[in-house]
Amino acid sequence: MGFTGDTAASFKSIPTRQSFTQAITLGLIVTSALIIWKALMCITGSESPVVVVLSESMEPAFQRGDILFLSMSEEPIRAGEIVVFKVKGRPIPIVHRVIKVHERQDGGEECVVTKGDNNREDDRVLYPPGQLWLRRNDIMGRAAGFLPYVGWVTIIMTEKPVIKYILIGALGFLVITSKGEENESILQVNFPSQF
């Protein structure tokens, strides 16, 4: 019959109830992932509790492809801390070290200047025009831990979207075509023959 015919036959043989169960299962998986992400946001105080290092600017402290776990508290930011910040006009957050801290006299708000460990200059050229310091609301979180190289999966899928679509398609295909194991082991009671 061929691959196409076998696939079409596989779709036709899936009962409605099983299709509904698979759709509900897929929905629960997606919902669970969102709940876990939101819970991490609440626990860590960071709008993005996990980020991937995308460049070599923080070597040797962090390599490209490392995953950072972030937290954000009300404690003052200190020079030497590694922070993740987002500036207007740049969609991707930046992971760099705080090199200067300044407390503003007008409101007591702390401001910082950052720099990548592997960069020669500070990050003021990355900030919006006219902005010389990062404010606390620009900072998404502080590095609290990391996993080396695990983020390469994200980098590869971002740089080569075809791979991402192939993986998503393959997973979707497996979910749709997998046949749930029917519970055929119904409890059977063997009565003695004298009854």
Catalytic annotation, residues: 57, 96, 123
82-85 vs 134-135, strand pairing mode: unpaired
Integer-rounded Cα Rg, in Å, for the chain is: 26
∠ at Cα 53 (168, 120), nearest 5°? 150
Token pair recorded at residue 24: 């509900």
Q: CA 146 to CA 48: how far, in whole Å?
A: 14
Helix 161-177 / helix 152-159 crossing angle, nearest 10 deg: 100
* Rounded Cα gap, residues 94 and 127, in angstroms: 11
Q: How far is residue 177's CA from residue 107's CA, in Å, rounded to a whole number?
A: 61
